Amino acid sequence: MEQLIENKLIKADKTFSEWRKVPFEERQRLIAKAAEILKSNSEKFGRIITAEMNKPISQSIAEVEKSALMMNYYVEAENILKPEKVDSEYTYSEIHYVPKGVILGVMPWNFPFWQVLRFATPAILSGNTVVLKHASICFGSGNAIEEIFLEAGFPEGVFQNLEVGHKEVKEILEHDAVKGVSLTGSGKAGGEVAATAGLNVKKSLLELGGSDAFIVLDDADLDKAAKVGAQARLQNCGQTCVAAKRFIIDKKTEDEFLPKFIEEYKKFVPGDPNDKETKISGMARPDLADDLEKQFNKALENGAEIIIPLERISDNEFNPGLIRVREGNPILQEELFGPLGMVMIAENDEEALKMANDIPFGLSNSVWTANKERQLFFIENLESGTVNINRMTSSDPRFPFGGTKASGYGTELSLLALREFVTPKTIVGN
């Protein structure tokens, strides 16, 4: 291991021995300062995001502001890590929540500030220290976040950015100083990291891919569903784990809904990412565009039909595409990470549910219906970490975020995230 990285891990471990003793309220005070720095410089940090991965600047600024909002949620959060007294016959009868130590974050490029801070904020508030392995195109974001923590007054070593490639992750995770890992990324990367963590008996949290369903029933508000559906697929150029990817439409409303949806979809025309009016720009890298184009062709080879062609207009830009896909197409078992949506037609609610669940993933689904009984049917039977009713998927600091099946395990956001990287320590005796 490179000596610089070794030194940073040792520093994180040494800092942890003191940081764990800092009162919860003092940690919150420092997080409030970091949130204020973020909010006051949202355009500056947003421009770093746009420069690194092509996100439209208005969305980059919104990402920074949402990160500040999330941090302020934890500033006001109840301290659920206080010792809990348990009624019993013993003199000592308590549960203490003990931070684990240095936690490695392996984070992606699609939300360079949000993903990092969503993981790091509750981990640090719980008394841990954090080292970050960011995506290789986002080292600028990682360094900026480290500077924010230092400027806010956090001790050196509480948050450190490591400029390393994916090949170094295994060795870092195996290091004695590192006690756990949180990864947001692909299923392949998640499996490799989970395997290393398991072999070394270290806690892991995985937030992996999704192929979320956007289910439109015949009693839905079709105008709103069409408008929100296009945004749900194409925000961040479709490079979002919780983006709507499969539009499952009730056959009874197909003829009315599809034209509305196509009209809204075609409003997303690629533009200059530095223009605040731009709603969609290029993908983060040309190789990612290559991958999407291959998946598009694979879908067509297996019977998919073009509704709107996926048209490549530069190395990393597309006019967004939409295809009709039937059950059995192997593309349904993959995640489309880019501006390409799939439409499926369901005969009834039962078939719509089967289609929604018949994939490896289980991250988040959206159901559009005005009928309470139909809503409850899907709420109770959809296999996903989140179900949205008459709205698109968007994470909220107040609610747990995570998936099931191949979409991963563990909880981010909400108060529950404060207990992800702590050990419940039982104290019993007289």
Residues 261 and 361 in one domain: yes
Q: What pLDDT, on the 0 to 100 scale, is given for residue 75?
A: 98
- Give domain status of residue 110, yes or no: yes
Residues 11 and 76 in one domain: yes
Q: What pLDDT, on the 0 to 100 scale, is given for residue 306?
A: 98
Cβ atoms within 10 Å of 88's Cβ, excluding its own: 10
Is there a contact between 111 and 63 (Cβ–Cβ < 8 Å)? yes
Q: Which string of DSSP letters, residue by residue, matches 50-98?
A: HHHH---HHHHHHHHHHHHHHHHHHHT---TTS-EE--SSSSEEEEEEE
Segment 10-44, tens digit of pLDDT:
999 999 999 999 999 999 999 999 999 999 999 99
Q: What pLDDT, on the 0 to 100 scale, is given for residue 70?
A: 98
Residues 76 and 222 in one domain: no
Is there a contact between 347 and 368 (Cβ–Cβ < 8 Å)? no
Annotated active-site positions, please?
207, 241
Residues 150 and 66 in one domain: yes
**Residue 180 belongs to domain with CATH number:** 3.40.605.10
Is residue 62 predicted with pLDDT exceeding 90?
yes
Q: What is the mean pLDDT of residues 248-270?
A: 98
Segment 209-229, tens digit of pLDDT:
999 999 999 999 999 999 999
> Quick one: CA dihedral 254, 255, 259, 264, positive or negative?
negative
Q: pTM for this structure?
A: 0.96
Percent of the chain scored above 90 by pLDDT? 100
Q: 333 lies in which domain range?
A: 213-389
Q: What is the mean pLDDT of residues 127-134?
A: 98
Is there a contact between 306 and 257 (Cβ–Cβ < 8 Å)? no
Q: Which string of DSSP letters, residue by residue, matches 190-218?
A: HHHHHHHHHHTT-EEEEE----EEEEE-T
Q: How confident is the model at residue 411 (pLDDT cuts 50, 70, 90)?
A: very high
Contacts made by residues 307-312, CB under 8 angstroms, sequence distance 24+: 307/258, 307/262, 307/343, 308/262, 308/265, 308/266, 310/339, 310/340
Residues 188 and 95 in one domain: yes
Residue 423: strand pairing partners: 98
Q: What pLDDT, on the 0 to 100 scale, is given for residue 244?
A: 98
**Residue 228 belongs to domain with CATH number:** 3.40.309.10
How many separate domains does the chain show?
Answer: 2
Segment 277-286, tens digit of pLDDT:
999 999 999 9
Is there a contact between 177 and 5 (Cβ–Cβ < 8 Å)? no
- Give domain status of residue 402, yes or no: no
Segment 150-188, tens digit of pLDDT:
999 999 999 999 999 999 999 999 999 999 999 999 999
Residues 107 and 144 in one domain: yes
Q: What pLDDT, on the 0 to 100 scale, is given for residue 344?
A: 98
Residues 338 and 297 in one domain: yes
Which residues, 6 or more positions from 227, have their beta carbon under 8 angstroms from its beta carbon? 264
Residues 80 and 114 in one domain: yes
- Give domain status of residue 349, yes or no: yes
Is residue 4 predicted with pLDDT exceeding 90?
yes
Average pLDDT, the chain: 97
Q: What is the mean pLDDT of residues 103-107?
A: 98
Residues 284 and 234 in one domain: yes
- Give domain status of residue 394, yes or no: no
Residues 160 and 260 in one domain: no
Segment 300-320, tens digit of pLDDT:
999 999 999 999 999 999 999
Q: What is the mean pLDDT of residues 224-245?
A: 98
Q: Which of 249, 202, 235, 8 is nearest to 100 (CA)?
A: 202
Q: What pLDDT, on the 0 to 100 scale, is given for residue 127?
A: 98
Residues 193 and 321 in one domain: no
- Give domain status of residue 333, yes or no: yes
Is there a contact between 95 and 125 (Cβ–Cβ < 8 Å)? no
Q: What is the CA radius of gyration of the chain?
A: 22
- Give domain status of residue 169, yes or no: yes
- Give domain status of residue 396, yes or no: no
E strand or H helix at 312: strand 311-312
Q: What angle do CA 45, 47, 53 make, to 5 degrees?
A: 105
Q: Which of 141, 205, 194, 132 is nearest to 164 (CA)?
A: 132
Q: What pLDDT, on the 0 to 100 scale, is given for residue 326?
A: 97
E strand or H helix at 345: strand 340-346
Cβ atoms within 10 Å of 327's Cβ, excluding its own: 11
- Give domain status of residue 398, yes or no: no
Spatial distance between the Cα atoms of 352 and 356, rounded to a whole number of angstroms: 6
Residues 279 and 156 in one domain: no
Q: What pLDDT, on the 0 to 100 scale, is given for residue 1?
A: 78
